[in-house]
Amino acid sequence: MKKWLILIYTTLLLTACLPREEAAVEKPLPEPPPVKSAEEIKIGFSMDTLKEERWTKDLELFKEAAEQHGAEVVLEIADGDDVKQVWQTEKMISEGIDVLVVVPHNAESMAAIVERAHDAGIKVLSYDRLVRNAEVDLYVSYDNEQVGILQAQAMTKLVPKGKYVYLGGAETDYNAHLIKQGVFSVLKPYIESGEITVVFNQWTKDWLPQYAKENMEAALQANNDDIDAVIAGNDATAGGAIDALQANGLAGKIPVAGQDADLLGVRRIVEGTQTVTMYKSIDDLSQKAVELAIKLAIGEEIQEDLKINNGKINVPSVLLSPVLVDESTIRETVIADGFHLEKEVYAP
């Protein structure tokens, strides 16, 4: 009996000494970083250019809106250079911005930057121009297709039959494609019926007036100056077209549509050389963009029902509505909003 007891005791002792697997212990999840307030947010703002008047207004109003919220704006201007814009945004990401707002020069080339920002945990808002083929978090702009619709409706009301020239914006800018889409959706039935013929249809490199002027000169030469209406991608390209018309003694005789409500464009409407422009309140646009950029930065959920496909995903979008401006509505639109001063518009 003693032997059995010794054997049992020894077995228990040996068993107790054997290594045992420890029970799996769940490690607590790391605590999420503290949510920042608007006052701690750094907004990286990557702009294509400041060569056009409207973009200087965008910058000024964007910075003012950010200051109202207490956020800091880290600014880079690419001067129409794709490589430079990619390098600048890489730099902002590496230096620790909280959200990236992009006005792309080239809608396609910025796709890699969106991915790079996401790898760094930074969300991306596409401002006014949509970045293509990328998982952009949010797009804030005006309804650019509606811009083209309003332009074409104004022109067809004045010139329901005749020869049209279309001078689009930069082919690299997706907005230019949307505007053109809107224009031709209105022109299509007129073209199909033979009432309207588009005798010249060309993009304008980098939206620059000198290229628009060259295109308009080519259109006039090819048609022996027999043109009935011009639709231009924006007021800068409209100005280039009007310079060419002026040189041929046709300024003010052929209706011209533009967009952006640039001061020079509005002045040309007063003078009678440009017919209409499209007013897009940059104040409204910049305020909305800053407000939503801060929400993205602090991780607040944004519910937007409108989605626009950018070639890769349906991007949650906020689109504001443009307003047509002609000679009769200048005071109640751009002047009433303080976009331009009356003394500037009607300067002698």
- For residue 105, give the amino acid letter: H
CA distance readout (Å), 177 to 104, 107, 154: 14, 11, 19
Residues 83 and 159 in one domain: no
Partner residues linked to 127 by β-bridges: 140
Residues 75 and 180 in one domain: no
Judged by phi (left if over 0) then psi (alpha if -120 to 50, else beta), residue 267 lies in alpha
Residues 161 and 128 in one domain: no
Model confidence at 238: pLDDT above 70 = yes
In a domain, 109, yes or no: yes
In a domain, 265, yes or no: no
Contact criterion met (CB below 8 Å) for 108 and 132: yes
Model confidence at 118: pLDDT above 90 = yes
In a domain, 209, yes or no: yes
Domain membership of residue 112 as a residue range: 38-142+282-320
Cβ neighbours of residue 50 under 8 Å, at least 6 residues apart?
56, 59, 77
Model confidence at 83: pLDDT above 50 = yes
Residues 165 and 208 in one domain: yes
Alpha helices in 223-334 (DSSP H): 235-247, 263-271, 282-297
Model confidence at 222: pLDDT above 60 = yes
Residues 100 and 153 in one domain: no
- For residue 176, give the amino acid letter: A
Residue that is written with structure tokens 């009678």 in the block: 272
The residue from 259, 290, 309 where one domain ends is 259
Task: Tell me which of 143 and 28 has the higher pLDDT.
Answer: 143
Backbone φ, ψ for residue 11 (5° rounding) = -60, -45
Angle between helices 235-247 and 209-222 (to 10 degrees): 50
Mean pLDDT of 27-54: 73
Mean pLDDT of 226-232: 98
Alpha helices in 127-202 (DSSP H): 144-158, 174-193
Neighbours of 30 (CB within 10 A): 6
Distance CA 290, CA 306 (A): 19
Q: What is the pLDDT of residues 275-326, one digit of tens each?
A: 999 999 999 999 999 999 999 999 998 888 899 999 999 999 999 999 999 9
Residues 160 and 95 in one domain: no
Mean pLDDT of 42-68: 93
In a domain, 274, yes or no: no
User: What pLDDT is stored for residue 256 in this prediction?
Assistant: 98
User: What pLDDT is stored for residue 39 in this prediction?
Assistant: 64
Q: What is the pLDDT of residues 68-78, one digit of tens each?
A: 999 999 999 99
Residues 174 and 249 in one domain: yes
User: What pLDDT is stored for residue 247 in this prediction?
Assistant: 97
Mean pLDDT of 149-178: 96
Residues 161 and 116 in one domain: no
Alpha-carbon 338 to chain mean position: 23
Cβ neighbours of residue 340 under 8 Å, at least 6 residues apart?
261, 263, 266, 334
Residue that is written with structure tokens 């033979």 in the block: 194
Number of domain units in the chain: 2
In a domain, 222, yes or no: yes
In a domain, 216, yes or no: yes
Model confidence at 153: pLDDT above 80 = yes
Look at residue 47 and give its three-state secondary structure. strand
| Mean of pLDDT over the chain | 90
Residues 251 and 155 in one domain: yes
In a domain, 99, yes or no: yes
Distance CA 155, CA 163 (A): 11
User: What pLDDT is stored for residue 120 in this prediction?
Assistant: 95
**How wide is the angle at C-alpha 179 spanned by C-alphas 178 and 185, nearest 5°?**
90
Distance CA 229, CA 165 (A): 6
Token representation of residue 88? 């600048």
In a domain, 307, yes or no: yes
Alpha-carbon 98 to chain mean position: 20
pTM: predicted TM-score of the whole model, two decimal places: 0.81
Residues 134 and 156 in one domain: no
CATH number (domain holding residue 84): 3.40.50.2300
Residues 68 and 112 in one domain: yes
Q: Percentage of the chain with pLDDT > 70?
A: 89
Token representation of residue 97? 């911005």
Residues 101 and 79 in one domain: yes
